[in-house]
């Protein structure tokens, strides 16, 4: 019988397979155990593994360790799938990052399949141009909406405040359409005071930013 261990997370697939082997050996300590890496796998070795028996246990535990790391070993496993399935011995096939076509063939013969895939990392959020553009255009409602949207997407209020203050300083130096130089100075000062007030406990920064945005003029 076949037990397949596969998936895109090679490290965790291997850990899963060896933990399973350890548990199986603990349950049947007298059963023979054979670990066969790809470079040791051959017709003769596989024949021996399939026919192996213990003195005190009828079944052996065989681990084919990443046979698809070598093309010849992998092809041999695929050719002998029927025999592996029908064998009284327990055959664990450890095959991380197995091609879909090969996985499908083995899964059709396997008693059980263990799959451990790497978790996809969420895409990093880029520069929030919509937020700073709303500030630059003095659009209070649009700015409030962008702040709320960013917060709902997981951006910390401190990060949003830092980006807004950066834009205020940028407009102080380069000028901003619809903003006088004095207005950008006041804007920068107001944002500094807003952060200071939130730290003193007057109002949390999240709510302070939202209220400040709606009062922007």
Q: Is 120 part of a structural domain of the chain?
A: no
Question: Domain boundary residue among 115, 147, 168?
Answer: 115
- Residue 35, pLDDT > 90, answer yes
Q: What is the pLDDT of residue 121?
A: 66
Q: What is the pLDDT of residue 154?
A: 86
The per-residue pLDDT for range 132-180, each reduced to its tens digit, is: 999 999 999 999 999 999 999 888 899 999 999 999 999 988 887 889 9
* Residue-number span of the structural domain to which 18 is assigned: 2-115
Q: Which bin fits 203, alpha (ψ -120 to 50), beta or left (φ > 0)?
A: beta
Q: What is the pLDDT of residue 217?
A: 76
Q: How many domains does the chain have?
A: 2
The per-residue pLDDT for range 60-75, each reduced to its tens digit, is: 999 999 999 999 999 9
- Residue 122, pLDDT > 70, answer no
Angle at 65 between CA 60 and CA 74, to 5 degrees: 105
Q: Is 59 part of a structural domain of the chain?
A: yes
As a three-state string, the secondary structure of the chain is CEEEEEECCHHHHHHHHHHHHHHHHHHCCCCCEEEEEHHHCCHHHHHHHHHCCCCCCCCCEEEEECHHHCHHHHHHHHHCHHHHHHCCCEEEEEEECCCHHHHHHHHHHCCEEEECCCCCCCCCCCCCHHHHHHHHCCCHHHHHHHHHHHHHCCCCHHHHHHHHHHHHHHHHHHCECCECHHHHHHHHHHHHHHHHHHHCCCCCHHHHHHHHHHCCC
pTM flag (> 0.75): no
Kindly state whether residues 24 and 52 are assigned to the same domain. yes
Q: Is 122 part of a structural domain of the chain?
A: no
Q: Is 75 part of a structural domain of the chain?
A: yes
Q: Is 155 part of a structural domain of the chain?
A: yes
Kindly state whether residues 98 and 148 are assigned to the same domain. no
- Residue 54, pLDDT > 60, answer no
- Residue 58, pLDDT > 70, answer no
- Residue 114, pLDDT > 90, answer yes
């Amino acid at each position: 019988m076949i037990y397949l261990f596969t998936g895109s997370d090679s490290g965790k697939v291997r850990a899963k397979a060896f933990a399973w082997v350890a548990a199986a050996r603990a349950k049947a300590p007298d059963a023979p155990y054979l670990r066969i890496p790809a470079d040791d796998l051959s017709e003769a070795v596989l024949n021996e593994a399939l026919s192996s028996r213990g003195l005190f246990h009828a079944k052996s535990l065989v681990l084919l360790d990443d046979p698809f790391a070598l093309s010849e070993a992998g092809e041999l496993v695929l050719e002998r799938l029927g025999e592996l399935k029908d064998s009284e011995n327990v055959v664990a096939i450890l095959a991380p990052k197995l091609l879909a076509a090969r996985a499908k063939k083995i899964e059709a013969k396997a008693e059980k399949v263990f799959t451990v895939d790497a978790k996809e990392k969420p895409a990093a959020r880029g520069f929030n141009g919509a937020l700073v553009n709303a500030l630059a255009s003095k659009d209070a409602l649009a700015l409030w909406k962008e702040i709320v949207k960013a917060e709902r997407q997981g951006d910390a209020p401190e990060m949003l405040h830092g980006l807004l203050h950066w834009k205020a300083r940028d407009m102080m130096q380069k000028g901003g359409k619809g903003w006088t130089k004095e207005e950008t100075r006041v804007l920068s000062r107001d944002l500094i005071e807003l952060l200071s007030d939130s730290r003193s406990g007057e109002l949390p920064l999240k709510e302070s930013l939202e209220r400040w945005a709606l009062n922007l003029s």
